[in-house]
Structure 1
Amino acid sequence: MSYRIALSEVLSTVITPSAEVTGGQGRFPRGSVTALGGAGLLGLTVSTEFGGGGMGLPDAAEVVARVARVCPATAAVLQSHYAAVAVIESYGSDWVRGEIAAGRHLGSLALAEDGPGEQGVRGELWAARSSAARSGDVVALRARKHEVVAAGEADSYVWSSRPVTAPDGLTLWVVPAHAPDLFVPARPDGGGPGGSATSTVFADPVLVPADAMLGPDGGGLDIVLRTVLPWLLELQAAVGGEAVHSAVADVPLRPDRRVTDSLASS
């Protein structure tokens, strides 16, 4: 069965019937996410080697656009998921890729954060201020991440921090949502469509294994600019920008000249 046929079935049998409750009552679309996973759509962009669909960004954009016409909250969840999976596909473990392909794992992005003394002001994706301190094989991450879609509902977050030892840049991690000492407010405090569970995620700290690092220490800026940013912009464009909030709503997505010049010279 093609993913388009599978999507049509999920839209008609699950997403459309529950869209009013999702948006009107602000209830996370857990049934829709489960159905999308079962239909192979959460694993759409995972390599066929791991049981995924082996599709790319244009296919993911088509799925998000079609879902957005019916349920903006579910579309917002998919935007963040697909952008996170794009990073995990390149740098994540085989086990996580297999779980996503099997429809059992929902990813999300946890990149935007406040700077010191800037409460309520959302930071840029490429300017992580949160800390990462390594002790043996464990890394302690401290941060307050904002506008996290599916906060408290996703299975893992693609998370940014300052480097552990590299002199500059940022570092990305995959942080399990069940990790101790992650805190999500009972009531979502972020923007995004009702039901998308867009909120803050606190870590003070959260402990992850050192091998949870995605890519090289300090290499996260390159990954954000070359992978996360293009995926988010394309997925936003697929739904016209206004139909569904970004996976990092109201966060500046386009890097300034200093960032792009730095990347070009690297």
Structure 2
Amino acid sequence: MNLDLDEEQTAVRQLARDFVGREIAPHVIDWDRAENVDRSIVKKLGAVGFLGLTIDEEYGGSGGDHLAYCLVTEELGRGDSSVRGIVSVSLGLVAKTIAAWGRAEQKRYWLPRLTAGEALGCFGLTEPGTGSDAGSLATRAVRDADGGAYVINGSKMFITNGTWADVVLLFARTGDGPGHRGVSAFLVPTDTPGLTRRTIHGKLGLRGQATAELVLEDVRVPADAMLGPEGKGFSIAMSALAKGRMSVAAGCVGIAQAALDAAVGYAGEREQFGKPIASYQLVQELISDIAVDVDAARLLTWRVADLVDRGEEFATAASKAKLFASEAAVRAANNALQVFGGYGYIDEYPVGKLLRDARVMTLYEGTSQIQKLIIGRALTGVSAF
């Protein structure tokens, strides 16, 4: 097993590090306090190719493998998870799903815009009453009398990129089958009449991210807005989320790495009892625990990327990586805050934000408990759903 990065992967990671240092790091505190990332970052992400990773150049993508994608996502997570979420959703959940399931005309229309940062996508699955139980969504799409369009009514909640997006990959019930049966996917432009959006403020973490509630009242879309076959929406959503969990895991590695960097740096500078606190064994224990979590989470995430690139089954491995990396990010940030002591509680220092951002990672794209159910089902062959 060779874990060395090749020349192209090394260059992509360095490009991402330089981008974070230039375009993100100087603004993180201000964006967090303002609860708003500067929207110009989207075009910059597109210009450098980060919104087109793994997408064919034919459709404006920048190519590359999924390990390169994870390397970029990790560096963005190390800089600011609010920015990482822009890429993970618009590219990871929306553009990649269009590339996998879309018709030729859907790919030609949406992918060049999404990869360039000229348009942004959001993933409309979660509803006010359905989070983990995605198969019970209530949003409904009804075909009109002549069959040429669908009329959609319902609402979506906690939608990343929701107020910025130009297109929603929307999941709605088109049939009367129980559970996930009868769910279909649609590409809905956000300027369609009847679609309204409300920014969600006051979040614990990811404060700079444009998180929204979407309300659809008699939203009319043409029949060819459907993505994939009718009734296959749940399968489309689950396939998107399987790869999305790899992206979340990579972002969590970035958070944990940022926590490690901050803790090591501070411990070497801060003096107590006449010497740096890095010399005290209990501080070293905190730092060593972070370091082990970083390495373990990174290796689990790279394993998923390798499976995807080799065309092998990866969904269970993605759940393992997402579960471990998200919980590890919380531990790492919490340990780093302990190293900082009281200063860790002030937002002029990075570790408080890292802890707040890490906490949501155990919730979205499948809670830690859901990941355990998925892993358990894969191991035992017995479903809990």
Higher-helix-fraction structure? 2
Q: Is the 8 A contact 1:109 1:247 kept in 2?
A: no
Q: Is the 8 A contact 2:50 2:87 kept in 1?
A: no
Q: Is the 8 A contact 2:174 2:182 kept in 1?
A: yes
Distance 2:204 2:247 in 1: 18
**Structure 1 residue 19 displacement after superposition:** 1.7
- CA separation of 1:182 and 1:192: change in aligned 2, threshold 3 A: farther
Distance 2:112 2:216 in 1: 27
Q: What amino acid is the match of 1:75?
A: R
Choose from 20, 31, 55 the match for 2:40. 31
3-state SS of 1:185 partner: strand
**Structure 1 residue 222 displacement after superposition:** 1.6
Q: Whose Rg is larger?
A: 2
Q: What amino acid is the match of 2:210?
A: A
Choose from 78, 83, 89 the match for 1:69. 78
- Please give the residue correspondences for 1:223-262 in structure 2 after superposition, counting only pairs within 5 Å: 223-225=236-238, 227-238=239-250, 239=252, 240-241=325-326, 242=329, 243-244=357-358, 245-246=360-361, 249=364, 252=367, 254=371
Structure 2 partner of 1:184: 197
Are residue 106 (structure 1) and residue 120 (structure 2) matched? yes
Are residue 86 (structure 1) and residue 99 (structure 2) matched? no
Structure 2 partner of 1:8: 17
**Structure 1 residue 73 displacement after superposition:** 0.8
Distance 1:191 1:131 in 2: 31
Deviating more after overlay: 125-134 vs 235-244: 235-244
Are residue 212 (structure 1) and residue 222 (structure 2) matched? no
Q: What amino acid is the match of 1:231?
A: K
TM-score by length of 1: 0.83
Deviation per CA, 1:155-194, whole angstroms, max 9, x where unpaired? 2111101125878231111111222221112554766510
Distance 1:142 1:198 in 2: 20
Distance 2:133 2:177 in 1: 20
| Structure 1 spans left out of the alignment, 5+ residues | 116-120
Structure 2 partner of 1:147: 158
TM-score by length of 2: 0.59
Q: What amino acid is the match of 1:102?
A: A
- CA separation of 1:250 and 1:212: change in aligned 2, threshold 3 A: closer
Are residue 42 (structure 1) and residue 54 (structure 2) matched? no
Q: Over aligned residue pairs, what C-alpha RMSD do you find?
A: 3.0
| Structure 2 spans left out of the alignment, 5+ residues | 1-7, 253-324, 330-356
Distance 1:105 1:172 in 2: 19
Distance 1:153 1:236 in 2: 20
**Structure 1 residue 139 displacement after superposition:** 1.2
Paired positions, count: 256
